[in-house]
Amino acid sequence: MTGMVLYGYFRSSAAWRVRIAMNLKQLKPELDIRHLQKNEQRAEDYLELNPEGLVPALKLENGPVLSQSLAIVEYLDETYPDPPLLPQDALPRARVRSLALAVACDIHPLNNLRVLLYLEHELGVSNGQRSDWYTHWVHEGFRSAETTAAAHDGPFVFGESVTFADACLIPQIYNARRFAVPLDDFPRLVAVHAHCRGLPAFQAAAPESQPDAG
């Protein structure tokens, strides 16, 4: 154990990004489960730690709490640099961040639980419309990610080394499959997903490997 506490939920793709990074760096946090279907991410005790009311959050050994998965992963990469999850040079670093942000900022927020619930309960959209919405935003984002990934050879999005981009992409592809989004137009992303899902750090981070999976 590291003395760190990771607040998450087995199906949270944002928490999954952090689990991947922590596994790659062999960091073993204590897990504190916030059941999203029971709205536990908005319980008073959690809001005191993370007023955003979203998972993940990471409580550090000495007490401070970090929110936002990419900020957490960057923090971990800076404080536990082995293995590095960003390339050394500024240009490839920016490119990796760019793809990670495209997933985390341009796809994921549009398909997050609270957005889907708002569409359904406040705007009264049908299941079919909700599913069209989900597919539309995944396809929009994956088109450019596929072009980027196809420009590299190797098992990971950016070639031979695992990066932030893989930690963001793999959960997003899993979610797309869960919501029956067709992925035929994204063969390179699907191949990277298949490779990463076979790696121990990714397997151990997957929803089905979590204690709250059920």
Ligand X SMILES: N[C@@H](CCC(=O)N[C@@H](CS)C(=O)NCC(=O)O)C(=O)O
Binding site for ligand X (CB under 6 A): 12-14, 36, 41, 54-56, 68-70, 104, 112-114
Residue 7 C-beta: closest distance to ligand X, Å: 9
CB nearer ligand X, residue 45 or residue 160: 45
C-beta of 179 vs 185, nearer to ligand X: 179
* Choice between 68 and 163, CB closer to ligand X: 68
Going by C-beta distance under 8 Å and a sequence separation of 6 or more, which residues neighbour residue 126? Answer: none
* Dist. CA 103–CA 175, nearest whole Å: 12
Closest chain position to ligand X (CB): 114
Provide the minimum distance between the beta carbon of 176 and ligand X in the complex, in angstroms, as a whole number. Answer: 14
The residue to which tokens 């990670």 are assigned: 100
Q: How far is the CB of 50 from ligand X (least distance, A)?
A: 9
- In the complex, least distance from residue 55 CB atom to ligand X, rounded to whole angstroms: 4
Minimum CB distance to ligand X smaller for 50 or for 148: 50
CB nearer to ligand X: give 53 or 155: 53
3-state secondary structure of 110: helix
Q: Which residue bears the tokens 């035929």?
A: 184
CA torsion angle 19 21 26 30 (round to 10): -30
| Positions of E strands within the chain | 5-8, 30-33, 57-59, 65-67
CB of 164 to ligand X, least distance (A): 12
Burial 79-114 (b: 16+ CB within 10 A, else e): ebeeebbbbeeeeeeebbbebbebbbeebbebbbee
Q: Which is nearer to ligand X, 24 or 103 (CB)?
A: 103
Count CB neighbours of 60 within 10 A.
16
For residues 86 and 45, the answer to whether their CB atoms sit within 8 Å is: no
Smallest gap, in angstroms, from Cβ of residue 160 to ligand X? 26
